Chains A and B, each alone.
Chain A
Amino acid sequence: MSGHSLATRLSYLLAACIAGMALLTTLVDYQLSRRVILEQVAADTSRIINDTRYDLDAQLRGVEQATRLFAQLLARQQYAPDEIKQQLRIMVESRTDIFGGAVAVAPAYTADYAGFAPYYYRPPSGPLTYLNLAESMSNYSDQPWFKDTANTGRPHWSEPYYDAGGGETLMATYSVPLYRADTNGRSLIGVVTTDLALTSLSSQLEGLQLGEAGFALLLSRRGMIIAGPANALLMQPLLNMLPAGQDPQVWQTLLDSAANAMPNSSPVPCIRQDGDCLVHMTPLATTGWPLGVYYSETEMLAPLRSLLLRMALSELASLMLVLVLVHFLSRQLTRPLAALVSVTDNIARGYLDAPLPRTPRDDEVGRLVRSFAAMQRNLREHIAKLQRETASRNRLEGELDAARDIQYAMIPDAGSTRVYRERVSLWAELRPARSVGGDFYWYRLAGQQLLIVVGDVSDKGVPAALFMSRAITLLQQHAATASDPSLLMAALNDELCEGNDNCMFVTLFCGIIDLDSLVLRFASGGHTPASLVREGQSISLDQDTGPALGLQDEQDFPINEVQLKATDRLVVFTDGIDEAFNPAKEQLGLDRFNQLLGDGYAQVIEQAGAEALMAVERHADGEAQSDDITLLLLDLMPAKTKDACYQIPAPAAAKTSTEVTPVADGTIGPLLDWLQAQTAGPLSDAAQGELMLVTEEAVTNAIRYGRLADDSAIAISLVVFPDYLLIQISDPGIAFNPLEEAKGAELGLETAAAPIGGLGVHLLKTLTDHQSYQRQADRNILRLTKTLPSAEEKHGIDHSH
């Protein structure tokens, strides 16, 4: 099955449709899912940010509250320094989220000149450590955290800082002013501070779920990084720390928004990866520190991508499954069609009985198979009928062939007469238009009386042939006793009229020539006039004619009489000749035929007859022969001078068809001797030599290639007429026309290139005047005529007696 069967095409088409639909669905899915997921991611992120901010604010707020509470406690009553120290220790101890706390008493309210500023803090290892800041630093009241708080009178967070010499850690301090009411209203009696280690914030940020690439940053109000991913450099300005490819302007805008307590977000290029990334920046409520969150949208969409990939794979798998299913189903559906195709091929090869596929289905395929079956049946019947008709036609043709053979058997010499007698040469040919025809001729020589009859039955084909056989049978009966053409024709007419209900008729020329007096007496039954060729001129004989024979009995057929000369040639023929048509539907006509007979006067009878027939063929120029053709030539001449025959027994033939039979030694020499002896008188030496040469060539050819049967013989007949001689070589070998089939060697080649052999046929054609070949009665008959030098001046010689 070819790659483009119906099933395959259907599968491809369906697969393409399904694939297209799947692709479309996936794309729509992707777009919808993407939007949903991105919204979800945004919501998640904002929830994470809010939660984180809330947590951070809560932690910071807890520190603030604890500090303010402690400050209120201290403000309520006056404590001794030890009591303050004690209270501070309790506070710091109770708040594990506080790194350290201090109470800086305003110098005016201390007994000690240096002041009193107890400070408890948690070193990275070990118990709470106490430090009196009044001792560790001079004039703590001049420190910014004290002075700023005292000046503003409001609690506030410091900028984060690195506490060198104290906690050795990054921290931010919350300072609360401590007032007590007095006569002046209220007086600042000190500042309470608590330190928050920012590492605790960092650990909170690190725990956020922001994907592989995402991270959170906590910045100071001045844009310093104070908490972030593990590798972040703390206390460095964020803008200086941006990786390559980031636009500082974008980040600055974000920071500015945060500074104005406005949350903001912006897409930024991703860091160290492809895709779309986002930054959210929102300030903490307590400290105003911007909290930044960076994450990759692409990464967030990664699950969607992998989902899509899995979907695509599963769709592909389904597609393959569908393809296989569709192909299988369509194969099922079209299987009868495929079987039908192979049956058609078989039918085309002639196997009409090729079984058709069975299908019980009633769909289009089923109906096709059934109508195909009907077609096959009809075709079978048609062909059987055709075969019967062909057989019967072949039988008919065979019967017609047999009929033609029978018909020819009734005509002398099977329709091809060559008679050379003393004083007369007769040459006749009959060529039927169809395989059986209505023309005939007949001759009979009794004593010096030569009877010649040429007839033409109306119509052609089988009816004409049957009527012709009747005519010729009756003719033979009556001719035996007839001496008068007129009486013969009258008798024949009466007989033919009997029972001729079909009104068939025959035109007839019937003539008797007395070979002594050369008087021709003839009668015509509506027949084409005969031609008389005398000294190069041919004329149609005037004739008094009777009716055609077979139509009405008791008719008279007038007698015509012509005195012939010995050099005359009488030509009798049927209208197949003068009424021969050419493609332009022009008849040859009697005038033109007489003209060519006159032109051929000098030719010997053999050649003249053959040429006349060829001229008719040339005129027809390929037009089918419309009527039977009969041509009879009769030459009157003085008695011939010699008539001799020589026989060569066949040598043992060669064993295989390719082998050449050798010419036995001593075969040719005696033949040449005989020829020389026969022709010594009338021929010159040169003419004799040429005659011998062509005879030798023809005879050796027949021996070499004829594959002659044992006990057969080659017959060489020589007839010498006053003006020409005829040599006839008749051999019983395989059919072979040397004039047409012999492969003549190419002449004139240089010695090296010239083939050896193939020369004989050139000699035959060159050294004789006319050659004819016939296959008759299983013999090859080659006739060669050679005009004698004296005959070349025939017109000038008086042959009459």
Chain B
Amino acid sequence: MELTTHIDLDADKSLARVALIGSLNTDTAPGFALRLDEAIAAEMDLTVLDMAELDYISSAGLRVIFKAAKQIKGAERKLAAANRKPHIDKVFEILKALPDIAVFADDSEMDEYLTAMQDQVRDE
């Protein structure tokens, strides 16, 4: 029941991709919190939690994501989740957690979103 976190920063797209692999539980939540702080510190416009390989999440893990969402929202930036497995999705649904963050079903959805964002920036 370990958790591995990969952080991939893309300055061009101003995107921080945080990939969670394994189980986000009471034990692994504190370590993940530190990693997520690193990603947020990069101050990208969009921070995406890639849950493609996340098998398990408990309320301890959700608390870390809540805190990060509040922090990012306060800094006028965005947090999004991508590739949630059905049973992970179910937990979010039960708790009606973070109703206002962007959720991408897969990478292509995320790319569309990023393109739209960049277009918007160019229009301005």
A→B interface (CB under 8 Å):
663, 665-670, 672-673, 676, 685-686, 689-690, 692-693, 696-697, 700, 747-752, 754, 756-757, 759-760, 762-763, 766-767
A690 touches B87 (CB 8 A): yes
Given the complex, which residues of B lie within 8 Å of A762, measured CB to CB?
Answer: 94-95
Kindly specify which of B11-19, B38-46, B61-69, B105-113 makes contact with the partner chain: B61-69
Complex interface: chain A residues within 8 A of B66 (CB): 751, 754, 756
Category for how many chain B residues contact A? 20 to 34
- Across the interface, name the chain A residue whose C-beta is closest to B86: A686
| Chain A residues positioned under 8 Å from B25 (CB to CB) | 668-669, 672, 696
- Contact A686 B58, CB 8 Å, known A672-B23, A751-B66: no
- The closest CB in chain B to the CB of A690 belongs to B87
Q: Which residues of chain A have C-beta atoms less than 8 A from B95's C-beta? A: 747, 759, 762-763
Shortest beta-carbon distance from B46 to chain A in Å: 15
The answer to whether A751 touches B70, judged by C-beta atoms less than 8 angstroms apart, is yes
A658 to B15, CA, bound (A): 41
Closest to B93 in A: A766
- Are A759 and B73 closer than 8 Å at their CB atoms? no
Q: List 11 A-B contacts (CB under 8 A).
A: A667-B27, A669-B25, A669-B27, A689-B56, A696-B60, A697-B59, A751-B98, A754-B97, A759-B97, A762-B94, A763-B95
Is the Cβ of B99 less than 8 Å from the Cβ of A750?
yes
A757 touches which of B27, B28, B63 (Cβ 8 Å):
B63
Contact A693 B1 (CB under 8 A): no
State whether A763 touches B63 (Cβ < 8 A): no
Tell whether A759 pairs with B59 under 8 Å between CB atoms, given A686-B87, A751-B66. yes
The answer to whether B59 and A763 touch across the interface, beta carbons within 8 angstroms, is: yes
Q: Beyond A668-B27, A669-B27, A697-B58: 12 further Cβ-contacts under 8 Å?
A: A663-B60, A666-B27, A670-B1, A692-B56, A700-B26, A700-B60, A747-B97, A751-B73, A756-B63, A756-B67, A760-B59, A763-B91
A697, B55: Cα distance in complex, Å: 17
Q: Do B87 and A672 touch across chains, with their CB atoms under 8 A apart?
A: no
Q: Does B101 contact A (CB under 8 A)?
A: yes
Q: Would you call the interface of chain B mostly helix, strand, loop, or mixed?
A: mixed
CB pair B91 A754 closer than 8 Å:
no
Name A676's closest neighbour in chain B (CB-CB): B1
By a CB distance below 8 angstroms, the chain B residues around A766 are 94
| Contact residues of B between 49 and 97, Cβ < 8 Å to A | 55-60, 62-63, 66-67, 69-70, 73, 86-87, 90-91, 94-97
Whether the pair B73, A752 counts as a contact (CB closer than 8 A) is: yes
Interfacial chain B residues near A748, Cβ < 8 Å: 96, 99
A665 near B55: Cβ-Cβ < 8 Å: no
Q: Is the CB of A696 within 8 A of B70?
A: no
- Which residues of B lie under 8 Å from residue A697 when comparing CB positions? 58-59
A759 CB contact (under 8 Å) in B26, B62, B90: B62
> How far apart sit A669 and B96, CA to CA, in the bound complex (Å)?
26
Q: What is the bound-complex CA distance between A265 and B78, given in angstroms?
A: 119
B91 contact from A685, A693, A747, A751, Cβ within 8 A: A693
**Cα of A702 to Cα of B7 in the assembled complex, Å:** 34
Cα A747 to Cα B67 in complex, Å, equals 16
Point out the residues of chain A lying under 8 angstroms from B99, CB to CB: 748-750
Are B30's CB and A665's CB within 8 A?
A: yes
B123 adjacent to chain A (CB < 8 Å): no
Is there a chain A Cβ closer than 8 Å to B10's Cβ? Answer: no
Chain A CB within 8 A of B119 CB: no
Which of A667, A685, A751 meets B26, CB within 8 Å?
A667
Q: Least Cβ distance of A729 to chain B in Å?
A: 14
Given A686-B86, A748-B99, A750-B100; A669-B59 close (CB under 8 Å): no
Q: How long is the Cα–Cα vector from A749 to B101 in the complex, in angstroms?
A: 12
Distance in Å: Cβ of A770 to nearest Cβ of chain B: 17
Q: How far is the CB of B108 from chain A (nearest CB, A)?
A: 25
Report Cα–Cα, A588/B73, bound state, in Å. 58
Report chain B residues within 8 Å CB of A689. 55-56, 87
Nearest CB in chain A to that of B66: its residue: A756
Contact A668 B26 (CB under 8 A): yes
Return A548 CB to nearest CB of chain B, in Å. Answer: 53
List chain A residues, Cβ under 8 A from B28: 669
Nearest-neighbour CB distance to chain A for B49, whole angstroms, equals: 14
In whole Å, how far is A46's beta carbon from the nearest beta carbon of chain B?
115
A226 to chain B: closest CB distance in Å? 120
Residue of B nearest to A687 (CB): B87
Evaluate contact between B1 and A754: CB separation under 8 angstroms: no
Smallest beta-carbon distance A346→chain B, Å: 59
Contact, CB under 8 Å: B58 / A693: yes
In Å, the complex CA distance between A445 and B93 comes to 46
Closest 3 CB pairs of A and B: A748-B96, A668-B26, A759-B59
Q: How far is the CA of A667 from the CA of B62 in the complex (A)?
A: 18
**Complexed CA–CA distance, A668 and B86 (Å):** 23
Q: Contact: B98 with A754, CB < 8 Å? A: yes
Docked-complex contact A696 and B94, CB < 8 angstroms: no
Instruction: Report yes or no: A663 in contact with B26, Cβ–Cβ below 8 A.
Output: yes
| Also in contact, A747 and B96, with CB within 8 A (given A669-B25, A700-B26, A757-B63) | yes
Q: Which residues from chain B contact A696 at a C-beta distance below 8 Å? A: 25-26, 58, 60
Among A666, A670, A692: residue with most chain B CB under 10 A: A692
CA distance A518 to B48 in the complex (A): 60
Cβ contacts under 8 Å, A663 to chain B = 26-27, 60
Using CB atoms, name the residue of chain B closest to A747.
Answer: B96
Which of B2, B26, B55 is the most central at the interface, judged by chain A CB atoms within 10 Å of its CB?
Answer: B26
Q: Which residues of chain A are within 8 angstroms of B86 by Cβ–Cβ distance?
A: 686
**Is A665's CB under 8 angstroms from B59's CB?**
no
Q: Which one of B58, B60, B86, B97 has the highest number of Cβ atoms from chain A below 10 Å of its Cβ?
A: B58
Q: Which residues of B contact A673 (CB under 8 A)?
A: 1
Complex Cα spacing A689 to B89, Å: 12
Q: How far is the CB of B68 from chain A (nearest CB, A)?
A: 10
Minimum distance in angstroms from A111 CB to a CB of chain B: 156
Instruction: Looking at the assembled complex, report how far the CB atom of A699 sits from the nearest CB atom of chain B, in whole angstroms.
Output: 9
How far is B55's CA from A673's CA once the two chains are assembled, in angstroms?
13
Q: Would A751 and B69 count as touching, CB distance under 8 A?
A: yes
Give the chain A neighbours of B62 by CB distance below 8 A.
759
Residue of A nearest to B99 (CB): A748
State the CA gap A237–B66 with chains docked (Å). Answer: 122
Closest to B25 in A: A668
Cβ–Cβ < 8 Å partners of B26 in chain A: 663, 667-668, 696, 700
Give the Cβ gap from B85 to chain A, nearest Cβ, in Å.
9
A692 and B27 alpha carbons, distance in the complex (Å):
13
Complex CA gap A747/B56 in Å reads: 21
Contact residues in A for B87 (Cβ distance below 8 Å): 685-686, 689-690
| Contact partner, A665, options B27, B73, B96, B98, Cβ 8 Å | B27
A669 to B25, CA, bound (A): 8
Residues from chain B with a CB closer than 8 A to the CB of A752 are 70, 73
CA distance A652 to B69 in the complex (A): 32
Cα A666 to Cα B1 with chains together (Å):
10
Which residues on the B side are within 8 Å of A749 (C-beta)? 99
Q: How far is the CB of A286 from chain B (nearest CB, A)?
A: 129
A501 to chain B, nearest CB (A): 64
**Shortest Cβ distance from A662 into chain B, in angstroms?**
10
- CB within 8 A of B94: which of A692, A757, A767? A767
| Smallest CB separation, B73 vs chain A (Å) | 5
**A672 neighbours in B (Cβ, 8 Å):** 1, 23, 25, 56
* Chain B residues in 8 Å Cβ range of A670: 1
Distance between Cα atoms of A747 and B99 in the complex (Å): 10
Q: In angstroms, how far is the closest chain A Cβ from the Cβ of B90?
A: 8
- What is the CB-to-nearest-CB distance from B60 to chain A, in angstroms, rounded to a whole number? 7
For residue A668, give the distance in angstroms from its CB to the closest CB of chain B: 4
Q: How far is the CB of A704 from chain B (nearest CB, A)?
A: 10
Assembled-state Cα–Cα distance A700/B91 (Å): 17
Which residue of chain B is the closest to A675 with respect to CB atoms? B1
CA distance A667 to B67 in the complex (A): 23
- Residue among B59, B62, B100 with max Cβ neighbours from chain A (10 Å): B59
Task: Provide the residues of chain A in CB contact with B98, threshold 8 Å.
Answer: 751, 754
Q: How far is the CA of A667 from the CA of B58 in the complex (A)?
A: 14
Q: How far is the CA of A676 from the CA of B56 in the complex (A)?
A: 12
CA distance A697 to B66 in the complex (A): 17
